[in-house]
Amino acid sequence: MDYELDESKYLYLLFIIPVLVLVFLYNLYWKRKKQREFGNPELVKKLSPDRSTFKSTLKLILISLAFAGIVLALVNPKIGTATETVKREGVDIVFAIDVSKSMLAEDVQPSRLGKAKQIVSQIINSLGSDRIGIVGYAGSAYPVLPITTDYSVAKMFLQSVNTDMVSSQGTAISDAIQLAGTFYDNPKTSKVLILISDGEDHGEGSQEAAAEAKKKGIRIITIGVGTEKGGPIPLRDSNGRVTGYKKDNQGETVITKLYPDALKTLAANKNGYIYGNSTKEVTDYLKNTLQNIEKTEFESKEVALYESQFQWFLGAAFVLFFLEIFLLERKTKWIKKLNLFNEKE
């Protein structure tokens, strides 16, 4: 039989019991000292013949045991009564996020890159037991997070994605597709690559890389962020304030635009591209799409089923507190007749 503790940190509260004992002993010492100051101890004892020292000790024991019961109830010990085979199945999803400088454009709020991160975060929130990975790319591709089921870690790494993580500029989609292909470590799972970009300067070989990926069973879904009207690329100082806008060699402000056609040609089919203007629409679309993709079992393990036992300790604590409340410090007549402690003269 297996045992488990829910909140073992509460066990430290048991150190309060020795403190209670020390307080009780000090109080007992203080009372006896005052009794000696008041008069002869034997005489004081005769003046209060029904007072029981034993019951004071018993009350301390009951309070200590009741407190221990409450602490153990907080810890919530559990007993494993059976085992169950838990299977995890889902889809392997890799997010490839464009981190080129054009993604700093603010023609969508808060920026193209900010929008891309919002979309990925909301997609992760809608997932069940799928595995996810993250790739960042500009002039080259960079692995951000290998395939994992830990969504909280994935979100943490997602927030670290920025346009400075890849030094070379451009939009090497082919590199991103090839790198994402190495993330799928289980040949049996369904594979999805969600590529988020403005489609600008998508580089050479992207269509060939996409075709090769499809041969390997990787379904590519593309999400376009930005507007076809476009916007300038802001330049910021160390405090995040806009100091100007990126200019070309002729000194003209660069206007970067969304190129949806480039992204549509990479998608798995004509319905594999979606405009990322509405985060909710993208999330709902991908949720429905992923539901129609075959789920594959990628993990199976035996886990123990535990039953909480806190109620027994809590019940015992209340019973002990109840007994302590009605336990007077006077001697009980029938116990007194037994003279267990040789108190009769």
pLDDT tens for 318-332 read: 888 888 777 655 555
| Percent of the chain residues topping a pLDDT of 90 | 26
pLDDT tens for each residue of 229-241 = 999 999 888 787 8
pLDDT for the residue numbered 223? 94
What is the DSSP pairing of strand 190-197 with strand 218-224?
parallel
Going by pLDDT thresholds of 50, 70 and 90, the confidence category of residue 47 is: low
Centroid of chain to Cα 6: 16
CATH of region 86-299: 3.40.50.410
Enter the tokens of residue 163: 């346009």
Across the chain, mean pLDDT equals 81
pLDDT tens for each residue of 184-226 = 888 888 899 999 998 876 667 888 888 899 888 899 999 999 9
Residue spans of the domains in the chain: they are 2-76+309-338, 86-299
Judged against a pLDDT cut of 60, whether residue 334 lies above it is answered with no
Judged against a pLDDT cut of 80, whether residue 292 lies above it is answered with yes
Q: What is the mean pLDDT of residues 235-249?
A: 84
pLDDT for the residue numbered 194? 94
